[in-house]
Structure 1
Amino acid sequence: MDASGLDLLPAGPVQRMVAAANRHDLEGMVAEFADDYENTTPVHPARSFKGSAQVRKNWATIFAGLPDLSLTVHDATTGPGNKVWMEWSNRGTRPDGSVTSSAGVAILTVRDDRIAAAHFYLEPVDHEPVDVDAAVSMVVHGTDSRGGGS
Structure 2
Amino acid sequence: MTDSQALTKLAEAINSHDAESIAACFSVDYVSENPHHPSRNFVGRATVLRNWMAMLTRFPNLTARVLRCATKGDEVWSEWEMVGTLADGTSVTIAGPVIWCTDTQGLVSWARFYLEPVSDEPIRPS
The two structures have a TM-score, normalised by structure 1, of 0.78
Give the corresponding residue for 1:44: 37
From 78, 96, 107, give the equivalent of 2:99: 107
Matched residue of 1:21: which SS?
helix
1:16 aligns to 2:1 (yes or no): no
1:29 shift after superposition: 1.2
From 70, 83, 95, give the equivalent of 1:77: 70
Structural RMSD (CA): 1.2
Q: Distance in 2 between matches of 1:41 and 1:65?
A: 20
1:129 shift after superposition: 2.2
The two structures have a TM-score, normalised by structure 2, of 0.92
Q: Distance in 2 between matches of 1:41 and 1:129?
A: 25
Question: Does the 8 Å CA contact 1:14/1:32 hold for their aligned counterparts?
Answer: no
Structure 1: gaps spanning 5 or more residues? 1-8, 135-143, 146-150
Question: Does the 8 Å CA contact 1:22/1:69 hold for their aligned counterparts?
Answer: yes
1:92 aligns to 2:48 (yes or no): no
Give 1:90's aligned amino acid. Answer: M
Q: Distance in 1 between matches of 2:20 and 2:39?
A: 26
Give the corresponding residue for 2:121: 128
1:14 shift after superposition: 2.3
1:117 aligns to 2:110 (yes or no): yes
Q: Can you list the C-alpha shifts for 1:85-119, whole angstroms capped at 9, x where unaligned?
A: 10011110001111111111000110021100001
| Count of paired positions | 123
1:30 aligns to 2:23 (yes or no): yes
Q: Which runs of 4+ in 1 moved over 4 A?
A: none
Question: Does the 8 Å CA contact 1:37/1:115 hold for their aligned counterparts?
Answer: yes
Matched residue of 2:55: which SS?
helix
Give 2:103's aligned amino acid. Answer: R
Sequence identity, in percent?
36
Q: Distance in 1 between matches of 2:119 and 2:90?
A: 14
Matched residue of 2:87: which SS?
coil
